[in-house]
């Protein structure tokens, strides 16, 4: 059974990635923060007594379900109400996690030039924008597999689908990203 400290350490270790992943899904930082916090509260309230090894899968499932619930609420709200803000384009300011983007340069022997770091930051920004454009299930599978570094079985369990579906979603996501990035002149 996980102690309170184990649970706190686990939640601290996943909070940033969970937030970033949720922002990709819902495209709204405030909503993403609410979803992640609600998911963490549900995990602590209902599953805090589970073994530490079960927490990652439980949290991923809770986070996925909370995100789907948010989309359902949005769909219902949009069907009932018409807000002018619904017709505005997404924010699109593309906040870049600068600490993460420059983590590689700080630990290396060679410091990159300002031009290289700016170019790299722009490429990261373009990649993030393209990830946001992926269909929901492709984006979810892609982020779990490559951002959360979950294996196919874990991703399938968290998404509630077969392993074959996960592989298909990931393959399509990678193909779409590669095609979109090549069209922008970004080649690996």
Same domain for 117 and 178, yes or no, is yes
Range name among 30-34, 47-51, 126-130 with the lowest pLDDT average: 126-130
Q: Mean per-residue pLDDT for 110-135? A: 80
pLDDT, position 112: 65
Same domain for 110 and 58, yes or no, is no
Confidence band (pLDDT; 50, 70, 90) for 95? very low
Same domain for 81 and 110, yes or no, is no
Range name among 39-48, 118-127, 170-179 with the lowest pLDDT average: 118-127
**Number of helices followed by number of strands (H, E) in the chain:** 9, 0
Task: Name every residue whose Cβ is closer than 8 Å to that of residue 150 and which is 6 or more positions away in sequence.
Answer: 60, 144, 158
pLDDT, position 55: 92
**CATH number, domain at 68?**
1.10.1740
Q: Are the C-beta atoms of 155 and 144 separated by less than 8 Å?
A: yes
Q: Mean per-residue pLDDT for 6-33? A: 92
Q: Does pLDDT of 169 surpass 90? A: yes
**98 within domain boundaries:** no
pLDDT, position 188: 60
DSSP 148: S
Same domain for 66 and 131, yes or no, is no
**115 within domain boundaries:** yes
Burial of 3 (0-12, 13-18, 19+ CB in 10 A): exposed
For the record, the structure tokens of 147 come out as: 């951002």
**93 within domain boundaries:** no
pLDDT, position 43: 93
Residue that is last in its domain, among 38, 56, 87: 87
Task: Name every residue whose Cβ is closer than 8 Å to that of residue 187 and which is 6 or more positions away in sequence.
Answer: 181
Structure-model confidence comparison of residues 153 and 111, the more confident one: 153
**CATH number, domain at 161?**
1.10.10.10
pLDDT, position 79: 55
pLDDT, position 84: 36
User: What would the DSSP string read from start to end of 74-137?
Assistant: HHHHHHH---GGGGSPP-------HHHHTHHHHHSSSPPPHHHHHHHHHHHHHHHHHHHHS-HH
Same domain for 121 and 76, yes or no, is no
Distance CA(147)–CA(144), nearest Å, equals 6
Q: Which domain holds residue 61?
A: 4-87
**100 within domain boundaries:** no
Q: Mean per-residue pLDDT for 144-163? A: 88
Confidence band (pLDDT; 50, 70, 90) for 116? confident
Structure-model confidence comparison of residues 136 and 78, the more confident one: 136
Overall domain count for the chain: 2
Q: Does pLDDT of 85 surpass 50? A: no
How high does pLDDT run on average in the chain? 80
Same domain for 61 and 16, yes or no, is yes
**177 within domain boundaries:** yes
pTM of model > 0.75: no
Same domain for 136 and 67, yes or no, is no
């Amino acid at each position: 059974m996980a102690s309170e400290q184990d649970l706190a350490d686990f939640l601290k270790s996943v909070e940033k990635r969970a937030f970033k992943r949720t922002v990709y899904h819902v495209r709204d930082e405030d909503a993403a923060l609410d979803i992640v916090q609600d998911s963490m509260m549900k995990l602590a309230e209902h599953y805090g007594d589970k073994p530490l090894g079960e927490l990652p899968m439980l949290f991923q499932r809770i986070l996925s379900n909370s995100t789907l619930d948010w989309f359902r609420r949005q769909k219902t709200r949009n069907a009932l109400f018409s807000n002018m803000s619904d017709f505005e384009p997404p924010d699109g300011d593309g906040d870049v996690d600068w600490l993460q983007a420059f983590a590689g340069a700080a630990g290396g022997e060679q410091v990159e030039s300002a031009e290289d770091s700016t170019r790299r930051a722009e490429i990261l920004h373009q990649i993030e924008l393209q990830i946001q454009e992926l269909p929901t299930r492709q984006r979810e599978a892609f982020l779990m597999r490559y951002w959360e570094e979950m294996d196919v079985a874990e991703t399938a369990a968290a998404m509630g689908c077969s392993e074959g579906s996960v592989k298909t979603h990931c393959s399509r996501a990678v193909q779409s990203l590669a095609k979109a990035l090549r069209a922008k002149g970004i080649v690996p």
